[in-house]
Every structure is written in structure tokens, then in C-alpha cells.
Structure 1
Amino acid sequence: MDVNPPGSDLMPVVVLLAAAVIGVPLFRRLGLGSVLGYLSAGLFIGPFGFGLFSDPEAILHIAELGVVMFLFVVGLEMRPSKLWALRGSIFGLGSLQALVCGALLTMVGVAFGLTTPVALICAMGFVLTSTAIVMQTLSERGDAASPRGQRIVAILLLEDLLIIPLLALVAFLAPQPEGATRAVFNNWIPLATALGSIGVLVIGGRWLLNPMFQVLARAKAREVMTAAALLVVLGAALLMQLGGLSMALGAFLAGVLLSESSFRHQLEADIEPFRGLLLGLFFLGVGMSLDLSVVSANAKLIIAGVLALMAAKTLCIYLVARAAGSAHGEAVDRAVLMAQGGEFAFVLFSAAATAGAINPAVNANMTAIVVLSMALTPIMITVHKRLGTKAAKAASQQEAAVDRRTSVLIIGFGRMGQIASQGILARGASLTVIDNNIEVIKEAQAYGFKVFYGDGSQASVLRAAGAGEASVVVICINDKKAATYIAQIAKDVFPGSKLLIRAYDREHALTLTKAGADYVIRETFESALLLGRQAVLASGATEDEADEVMDFVRRRDAQRLDLESAGGKFAGRELLLGTRQSAKRAAVEEQT
């Protein structure tokens, strides 16, 4: 009787995790990026490496959810107004790049001996850039929110939308059985189904999602909020799949519909761990799917195809970018970043092979070409980064500096947070506010404030809210433990930001200062000083005398805090005694 050894079910999971844990840090250490680390690790453990996995397609099928979740996060950043502002880049720049690249790559395919229909399918498959690789790279270098990053995202969106007409094109180009005619009416059925799926998603996202999250937020069940976030992403992906569309498109639309929601930062933080793991699994699957036997049998053809297609696409993207008014540095960066084929090419080639539009040999060769192009892209990016011009780096830093100068994050929007925000708003700075009390959020919205739901003590929520890019982070939460924790993780979450924190009392203020806060204010300190000043005035002092006394008290308090921070409470008590004696001595000298 065949008995599986204990723990055998966990073996594939352990191998995948071990491959990622070993491969990714090694390649990042070499300066080659995490994507190439995943691809190489997948190749080593796949059927054409050590043979620890025999079915990479099964892994890719699950790991596609990583791309889906990535596009959901992208959608959260693309508010409808922002998306409308990018319409020119999406439908203008994106369409121009797709058409020009498609035409030139088709000519490359014809030059390799393919018929025009087959060359067109292969070319359009290679036009579809890898969203996963590009977005991962933009995310790693902090470029996704910059103007040039947004233009790249707009082109990627257009290319994701192209999969729909391209699949229809494959059906049109596929050979028909003898005597069969193309039913025009039947071609409208998939289109109507697709439009219906989009309509259902828009209606549900517009009127159902926010009320659902409000109910869950009041229940204060964190794990259920995470489950709801996954439900939204996977449900939207399933709806689009049932409508014959891309799952990634459904997730993106769901993200856009929630981009104006108060829950967007918490949703992003909840999805982020799953997105990272599944996206890494996707790259591992791509590495496993590289059929070395096909590459070996057709090595010259595949290598020539990779070089020719990548060179042609790089040239096209550069010329289109320059024609659209982009600077040389940005055009080169975009061309290098988008020179590869993408994951949707596998979908297109598989559909074409099933329909008989391309033969199995072309399908295998083109799949190998796309995988190799994806593997070469991180190397190209690394080389470009090392050889990049100082002007391009300066432009990128300038864009980041502009964003940083105008960005302020306030955590906690109670009485102190509301007052602290007024000066920032009066100055016209960009302000983001998060709070975990749904009633506070609703009250703030009634007065025109936009407050996002989120647990400010979670590093993932802070990153999603933009703490890493903010010039100032103001902590106004009424929770000593959470405020202290934020101060302790500040250098990791927002290393370049000024950290201003509300403290509960003197002891808490000392703890926050030692943790690295740039400025700490006790919640009752300033109001107590103002009240004390009025008491001094009421006791018969003049305005100048009251100001002098309160300045003296303020200086002594600051000195006491400094001494307590350096030497403990005893030094602070000694200074406090000195303060009393000095105050008495000053009063006696004034009387004499």
C-alpha cells in the first residue's frame, strides 16, 4: 500500500517559499532586481531545472491572481477624475504606441517567414507589455505616482483593454470549417455580455461597497475587513471572467470605483501581503514555464526573435514618446521598461493555437520568446540604471521633491487633529487624513473634510496612505501605545519625513522623544500655559510681566525635559525644585 510520507502535502509550498527566499535577496544583492530573482528561481525548481515541479501551468493559473490584485491596487490610486485627466495618455498615447509597435513587429514577423495573419497575432501578443514587471519596477523605485510613471500606467491600461478586441481578432483570423459562415449576430453576444458585466460591476461598486465597508468598520472585526477586501477583488475578477473579459480589468475597475472611498488605504494595506506573495508566485511560474528543450531545439530562431522583437519595440516606444513630447531621458526609460512581451501574450497565443490561427510550433516558440524577454528586462533596467544620464536622475528627484514638499499626513482626526489641520489647509498644502472611527469620518465629511478609514498603528496602512512620500507626518491619536509604536517604526515607514506627535503626558513625551520624534507636544500643555497666563494677569501682573513669567516657565519646562531625557527623573525633580526656588527668588527681588 502506497502511503504518502508525513508533511508531503507541504513540500511544494516549502520549496516555493525557499526558492523565493534564496533567489530574490541574492539577485537584489547583485543589483539585478527581484523579478529576475523570481524568474531564475522558478527555472531552477521547474520541470526544466531540478524537476521539483512538473506542471507550471497550474501554478500560473493560481498566481494570475497576483496580477489581478496588483491592478486593484493601481485602480485605488486612479480616482475617476484622475483617470479622466489621463484619457489623452490612455487612448491617445497608448493607442499610438500599440498601433505603431504592432505594425513594425508584424513586419519583423513577416521577415522571419511568417504569413501576415500569423505575424500579426505574434506581433500584437508581444505588444502587450508585462504589467507585473513594469508595475513592480515602478513600485520598487517609487515612480508609480510621478507624472512619467502615470503615463506608463495609462499605456498599460490601454494594452490591458486591447486583449478584448485581440481575442475577437483571433476568432476572425482562425480558419473556418468547410461551408461555415461567420455569424455576425453571434459576434455581438460576447460584446453584450462583456458590457453587461461592466455595468453590473459599476452599479455594485457605486452603491453597495461603501455601505458594506461602513457596517464592517463599525463591527471592528479586522479579519472580516480583510476578507471583504479579498471578496471585492476576487468577485470583480470573477464577474469580468464570466463576461469574457480580463480578470485584471475587473479588479482595476473595482479599485477605481473604491478610489474615492474612505476605506481605500485600509483596503490597500489588507490586499498588499496577498498581492506580493501571489505576484512572486506568478514570476516563479513564468520561470518554470520556460521550456529549455524548445529553446535548445530552436535556439538560433528564438534568440534572433527575442533580439529583433525587443529592439523593434524599444525603437517604436522611444520614437512614439519623443513624438508625443517626452524628453530624451523619459523616452529611453519608458522604452527600456516596456520592451518585453507580457503575461497576456500567453492568453492570446493559447487562444490562437486552440482556434487554429497559429500552429503549436509557433505557439511554443513565441511563448519562449516572451518568457526570455521578460527575463532579460530586469537586466536591461539594471544596465540602463547604471548608465543612465544625470539629467534623468535629477528630473526624477525633482518630481519626487515637488510631491514631498506639498504632502502632509495627519493620523487621528479628533479635536486636536482637526485644529492641527487648519493651518495646513490654509497654506494650501496637500493633506491626507486617516482615522479608525467611522463616526468621526462621517462627521468630518459633513464639513467637507476627506478622511480615510485606517488603523494608523499598522505600518502597511501608513505606507498605503503615503507616509513614505509625505514631508510631514502629524500623529494626533488618543492612544499612547499606538503613538509610541508609530514613533518606533517611523524611520522605516517615513524616513525622510518630519514626525510631529501628540503626547498624553510628560512621561509619554519623553518616551516619544527617545523613539525619534522630531517634535512632541503634550495634549494639555499649551492650553494650560494660556490658562496660567490669565491667572498671572488676574493676580495683578501686567501683560509684559505675564509674558516674561510664562516664557520663563516654558524655558524651564524644556530644560527639565532635556535633563530627564538624559539623566532620568531625579535630574528633572532637581530642576523642578530649582524652578520653584528661582520663581520665589524672582518674586522677592521684584518686591524689593
Structure 2
Amino acid sequence: MAIEESAHQLVNVVTLLVSAVIVVPLFKRLGLGSVLGYLAAGLAIGPFGLKLFTDSQSILHIAELGVVMFLFIIGLEMKPSHLWDLRKQIFGLGSFQVIIAGIILTLIGLCFDNVSWQTAFVCASGFVLTSTAIVMQVLAERDELGTERGQQMVSILLFEDLLIVPLLAIVSFIAPHQANSAELANQVSVWQEIGTAALALAVLVAAGLWLLNPLFNLLARSKIREIMTATALLVVLGSALLMETGGLSMALGAFVAGVLLSESHFRHQLEADIEPFRGLLLGLFFLGVGMSLNLAVVIENWALILFSVIALMLGKGACIYIVARIAKSSKADAIERAVMMAQGGEFAFVLLAAAAGQNVIDGTTQANMTAVIVLSMALTPLALIAHGRWISPYFTQKSQNEDEIEQQHPTILIGHGRFGQIINELLTACGYQTTVIDYDPQTVAGMNKYGDKTYYGNAERPELLLAAGIEEAKLLIVAIDNKEQALRIVEFAREINPNLHIIARAFDRLHTYALYQAGANEIIRETFDSALRAGTRALESLGVPVNKAKEIKEYYFQRNRKVVEILAEAYDPNIKIFQNMPAMEKAREENRKTIQEITEILNKP
């Protein structure tokens, strides 16, 4: 019997993995994103699909740990000083958005027939809480967690996580009571919940300040890797459990623990230990959300649910847009934030369950709102795709002609970021004038304020390059980090001006080959020089004399550039690099020559 039960559990695990492995890459390949892939896979294998799983709530409860671990990793990247700098965004921007959206969504709820203000308020409050899992996943996939707009969204999510206890207290306060004694007891219970939450937070902070670092130092001396991994999991799950016991969200507890460990020298080790669990459990969470979509309820009340989803997402999105614009975000950023954060979140399920348990809302309302929130989460990836294809290009196209090139110079520099700024500073210091173009409005505004004239525009547009004087220019420097865009710029420039000298920034060796074929004269791999310097220091550290290490460095620099030119002729973008046998054999031959030459340098007296 036990063997059969164990086998059944193994089948469940394999089913979850198979559904994710098949569906998620497919959706990703189709450009629909991994989140929608997980949701679709969950719906397919859940109780309202193939019925391979019947208890989606238990899976959701376990998989919520993925969100918890995600917040822990975010906390590791956010030092207390940085968190303090974000206090205005967390409590100012976050509270402003929540209050405005709460009021508007409550008014929308009152527009429905036979809906009390208590029901409207609870449903609105649940929908105001954005899905931390979805927003964080999208920001992570776009590598925007560290950007200014990413930090603003993270700040709002943190404030919403803090709201769960006050909202639960309000639900208890507005719940119908049978007697004054019961009401008094309920008020006492509310204050107990607030006190318990404050105490749990204080205990966690104290443990983080005075216990965790000494504990990791002690365990590190054992040099047992699995013990460190187990301790990392203990810290995450323990902090989550402590916060849940105190009535706060588990994700908030993990985030606080991460912040407290952000200045520890074990930070990178903790991140490496937690990351694999985070990815798996976060995927499982989205699978659980897909399973929890009750198609029977949706079909039975499809008109009400569909109208509610549209009304609440549009209402919340409008509020987010208004708050973002008041906070001086651009129209494009405000619209993108509104689309990304317009859904309801996972913490709404907790609030709705508490409200139903205290008779603030009935079971039908809870079921309908649960379906509304799950559908809003499922629609968010589709809304983001639509935004990226039709809305975002409109604003991009609209802003493309903002800057007119006032003065043409023989040297054109495309890209004024961390790479291009060094080039421009060197050229201007030597007295050369440059025409600098960048596509980041914040960079353009900042550099112009600093005194470095920079034009805003998309250098991929032929008319912009022509306006910059590409036909008569002597030198073009392509310093952007977008590989495909850099190739197209080089190709167009070479076609228009055959005598133009082109220096291009390359991401890696394959990009270098493509740039050579596109017509660039010189290609600078963005990490080659720093890697060569690091390799030279490594040789010196291993006992190679400084003069020989320097000679090897100079030889390798020239030799590698020559090899890249040779291999570029054999490069075919339509053949995968390790399947291009002529190129592979040529690379081996050149590598043997390189090793032989370096050996001769080492053996010279």
C-alpha cells in the first residue's frame, strides 16, 4: 500500500515536470513567455483539464515558496542603505497607488447589482494586491530588476506585502457580529494580531543582526557544502514561517532576511544555493495557479466574470498610469507599468478566504473573485505581448524624430553608455569633435545636462544616420550592446559609405565574425582586453616572470585578432558553431600554432 502511494506521488512529480518541460519551451519559442506557458500547462493537467491533479490548493501552498525564495534573492541584492533610499517610493508611491486604486475599484464594485460596500471593498482590496510572482518574473526575464522603473515596481510590491495584516484586521472589523461581547473580543483579537506581527518582525530583525552571520561563520569552518545549502534553506523557510505565524506574508519575511544578509560575505554563496530551488518552485506556483482556474464557475457566470476582469483591470491600470505620471514617469513607462501590474495577486486568495470565513462575502462571491483574479493573472502575459507589439512601438515611433542633428562631424559615435562614454571622453580630450547618438532618453538627458552634447534617436533608422552625415563621415564607432541592431547599423553604413572606417563593439566571438562579414574594419570584444589583463596577472601569480607574461600578452593580443579574422571567413550564421566542421578544424589548427608560439616564448632564455 505504501509502495503504491509512493509510486503515485512519483507519477505526480513526473507529470508536473513533463508538462513544464514540454509546454513552457513551446510557449517561449512562440514568443508567449514562460509564465503563460506554466499557466497553460497547469490548466491542461489540473482538475478542469485532464484531471491528473485534483488538489491545486495544496500545490499552490507549497509552490508559494518559490515566490518566497525570489524575494529572498531580491533582498540579498538590496542593502539596508539602498532600502532606506527607497523609503519614499515604498511608503509614498506604494501607498498612493494602493489608496487611489482601492477607492476606484471599490466604486466599480458598487456599480454591480446587489453589492454591499463591504463586499465591494474586500473585492477591490484583493484586486489591488498585485501578483508579486508575475511582476518579479517578468522583470527578471527582462533583466530590469536593478533599473529605476524596476525598483519602483519592487517598492510598490513591498508596500502591498506589508498591507496584508492591516487588510485582514479591517476585514475582522467590518465583519457582522452577533453580540457586543463578540465585537469586543474581535477588537482585542485585532490588536493581538498587530502586536504579534510587530513582535515577529522584531524577532526576525534581531536574529538577522546578531545570529545569522555568526551561525554561517561557524558552519563554514566545517567545509561541508550541503550543510551550508541546508542552512540557507533554513534561513529562508524559517523567516517565512516566522512571518506567517505573525500574520504577515511569507515573502516579506524572506525579503527582510535577505536584506539583513545583503552585506554578509556569504551573500553570493546563499544566492547560488537558493537559485535552483527558486526557479523550480516559482514554476510550480504558476502551474498551481493554472490548475486553480475553475472552468465550471467561469462557464456558469461567464458574463459577470468577464466583465469584472475587464472593468477591474482597466480601472486598476488607469490608476497605476495616473500615479506613475504624477511620479514623473514617461508615458511609455507609465503604460508599461499599468499593463504589467493591472492583475490581481496571490495574496488576494488569503484575503478572500478570511472574508468568506467571517461572512463578509458569501461563497459564490469568493468563487467568482478567485476566477477573476486567476484570469487576470493569465491575461497579463498576453497583455504584455500585445503592449510590446502594438502599443510600445507607437510611442517609440512617436519619439524618434524628437532630436534633429544640428551639426555634422567626421566622427559619429552610436551609443553613449558605459562603453561609449569612455571612447567619447578620450576623443574629445584630444580635440576631436563627435556626433553622439543614443536611444536611452535618461542617458541623453543626463549627458546633455552634464555638458556632453548627445542626440536622442534610433540609429538603426537610415534617415537618422543620413542626417548625422554618414555619407561624408570618416569614422563610425558603434558602441551599443544590442547585437542585432549593431549589425544592421554596420551593414547600412558600409553600403552607404564604402570608404567609411567602422569600429564596432562586439558581444562575443560569434558577434565578431558577423560584424566582420557586415563590413566593420575593427571589432572590439567588450570583455577581451579585461580578460587578457586578468590572464596576464594569473600567469604572474603562478610564477611566470613579468617580462615574459607581458610578451605573451602582446603576442596573444595580436595573434588572437588575426585568428578571428581567419575564422570569420569560415563563419556561417546558418550553421551552429559546433556543427560547422570546417571552422572547427581551422580553429584547432590555429590553436595548435598559438600554443606552439607561446611555448617558444616561455622556453626562451
TM-score of the aligned structures, taking structure 2 as reference length: 0.70
Matching residue within 283, 287, 291 for 2:290: 287
Per-residue displacement from partner, 1:149-191 (whole Å, max 9, x unpaired)?
Answer: 0000000001111111000011111111245333444432221
Question: Alpha-carbon deviations, 1:90-126, whole Å to 9, x = none?
Answer: 1111100000000000011000121111100000100
Shift of 1:9: 3.0
What pairs up with 1:164-563 in 2 under 5 angstroms? Answer: 164-179=165-180, 180-183=182-185, 184-387=187-390, 388-389=392-393, 402=417, 498=527, 520-521=536-537, 523-524=539-540
Kindly provide the amino acid, as one letter, of the partner of residue 68 in structure 1: V
Sort the Cα spacing of 1:528 and 1:97 in 2 relative to 1 into closer, same or farther, 3 A.
same
Which deviates further from its counterpart, 215-224 or 260-269?
Answer: 215-224
Letter paired with 2:61: H
For residues 34 and 602 of structure 2, the distance between their equivalents in structure 1, rounded to whole angstroms, comes to: 59
Asked if structure 2 preserves the Cα contact closer than 8 Å seen for 1:233 and 1:254, the reply is yes
Quick check: 1:60–1:285 contact (8 Å CA) kept in 2?
yes
Q: Distance in 2 between the 1:218 and 1:390 partners? A: 58
Report if aligned partners of 1:56, 1:285 keep a CA contact under 8 Å in 2. yes
| Counterpart position of 2:121 | 120
- Aligned position for 1:572: 597
| 1:389 alignment partner, SS class | helix
The letter for the 1-side match of 2:314 is A
- Deviation string 1:283-305 (CA, Å, 9 cap, x unpaired) is 11111111100000000000000
Tell me how far apart the structure 2 counterparts of residues 392 and 318 of structure 1 sit (CA, whole Å): 18
Distance 1:403 1:127, change over 3 A: farther
- Identical-pair percentage: 53
Q: Which moved more, 1:330-339 or 1:517-526?
A: 517-526
**Is 1:340–1:374's contact at 8 Å kept on the other side of the alignment?**
yes
8 Å Cα contact 1:560/1:575 also seen in 2: no
Note closer, same or farther for the CA distance 1:336–1:299 as it changes in structure 2 (3 Å cut): same
**Distance of 2:63 and 2:35 partners within structure 1:** 14
AA matched with 1:389:
P
Q: Which runs of 5+ in 2 are unaligned?
A: 401-414, 423-480, 483-507, 511-523, 564-588
Contact 1:500 1:519 in 2 (8 A): no
Change (3 A) 1:244 1:5: closer
Show structure 1 runs of 5+ residues with no match: 408-467, 470-489, 503-512, 533-549, 581-592
* Structure-1 separation of matches of 2:265 and 2:91: 29
User: Are the equivalent residues in 2 in contact too, given 1:329–1:389 (CA < 8 A)?
Assistant: no
CA distance in 2, matches of 1:38, 1:259: 31
Residue type matched to 2:233 in 1?
L
Are residues 1:49 and 2:49 paired? yes
Paired letter, 1:297: E
Task: Return the letter of the residue paired with 2:393.
Answer: T
Q: Are the counterparts in 2 of residues 501 and 520 from structure 1 also a CA contact under 8 Å?
A: no
1:91–1:496 distance in 2 versus 1, CA, 3 Å: farther
Task: Provide the residue aligned with 1:8 in structure 2.
Answer: 8
Shift of 1:524: 2.5
**1:497-527 deviations in Å (ceiling 9; x for gaps):** 515688xxxxxxxxxx8xxx99655523999
Alpha-carbon distance in structure 1 between the residues aligned to 2:3 and 2:545: 77
**Structure 2 vs 1, CA of residues 519 and 391 (structure 1 numbering), >3 Å: closer, same or farther?**
farther
- Contact kept, 8 Å, 1:560 with 1:572, in 2: the verdict is no
Counterpart residue identity of residue 523, structure 1: L
One-letter amino acid of the structure 2 residue matched with residue 572 of structure 1: E
Residue type at the aligned position of 2:183? T
- The number of aligned residues is 464
Assess if the C-alpha contact under 8 Å between 1:500 and 1:520 holds in 2. Answer: no
Q: Judge conservation of contact 2:176–2:359 (CA < 8 Å) in 1.
A: yes
Q: Deviations over 1:306-365 (max 9, x none)?
A: 000001111110011101111111101110100100000001001100111100000000
- Provide the C-alpha distance between the structure 2 equivalents of 1:69 and 1:574, rounded to a whole number of angstroms: 49
> Alpha-carbon deviation of 1:565?
5.2
Contact (CA 8 Å) 1:560, 1:576: kept in 2 or not?
no
What SS does structure 2 have at the residue aligned with 1:177?
A: coil
**1:376-403, Cα deviation, whole Å (9 max, x unpaired):** 00001111112213866999xxxx9857
Cα deviation per residue 1:58-102 (whole Å; 9 max; x = unaligned)?
111111111111111111122111111111111111100000000
C-alpha separation in 2, matches of 1:137 and 1:519: 36
> How far does residue 43 in structure 1 lie from its aligned partner after superposition?
0.5
RMSD after superposition: 3.6
Q: Is the 8 A contact 1:556 1:579 kept in 2?
A: no
Identify the residue that residue 131 of structure 2 maps to in structure 1: 130
Give 1:566 deviation, angstroms: 3.8
| Structure-2 change in CA distance of 1:89 and 1:5 (3 Å) | closer
Partner of 2:28: 28
- 2:102 matches 1:95: no
Distance 1:54 1:329, change over 3 A: same
In the other structure, the counterpart of 2:586 is none
Displacement of 1:251 in angstroms is 0.7
Residue 63 (structure 2) pairs with residue 63 (structure 1): yes
